[in-house]
């Protein structure tokens, strides 16, 4: 429940254009999510951190976070055996936007 609340705060901070405030919340949420090895939470938090770093002009850090988020997304997708469900997951707007952003920033990105 704590991670969910932190993620909500992170989304609000991003929407209100306060990226400098996102990083501490994201780091706290990431620590908790990693304790539970909750990959869906981890990729979403890292994608939010990437967005915040991008808004702050810290492009290298943004790229690192997008790359990490995309790696986790593909890891989760590879665990989905049903091709239709896998495609549904990968075509989700939030998922596909992270993957697209990673591919634009890291043209040689490979899973």
For residues 9 and 78, give the distance between their C-alpha atoms in angstroms, rounded to a whole number: 30
Using DSSP, state whether 64 is helix, strand or coil.
Answer: helix
How confident is the prediction along the chain (111 residues), in pLDDT tens digits per residue?
588 899 999 999 999 999 999 999 999 999 999 999 999 999 999 999 999 999 999 999 999 999 999 999 999 999 999 999 999 999 999 999 999 999 999 988 877
Angstrom CA distances, 91 to 12, 21, 54, 77, stand at 24, 30, 23, 11
d(CA 18, CA 52): 8
Per CATH, the architecture of 2-105 is what? Alpha Horseshoe (1.25)
Q: Are 92 and 70 in contact (CB under 8 A)?
A: no
Q: Domain residue spans in the chain?
A: 2-105
The pTM assigned to this predicted structure is: 0.91
């Amino acid at each position: 429940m704590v991670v969910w609340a932190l993620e909500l705060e992170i989304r609000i901070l991003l929407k209100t254009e306060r990226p400098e405030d996102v990083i501490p919340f994201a780091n706290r949420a990431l620590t908790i999510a990693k304790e539970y090895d909750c990959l869906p939470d981890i990729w979403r938090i890292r994608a939010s951190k990437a967005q915040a770093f991008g808004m702050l002009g810290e492009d290298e850090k943004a790229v690192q976070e997008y790359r990490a988020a995309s790696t986790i997304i593909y890891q989760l997708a590879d665990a989905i055996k049903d091709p239709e469900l896998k495609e549904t997951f990968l075509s989700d707007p939030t998922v596909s936007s992270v993957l697209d952003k990673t591919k634009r920033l890291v043209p040689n990105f490979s899973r």
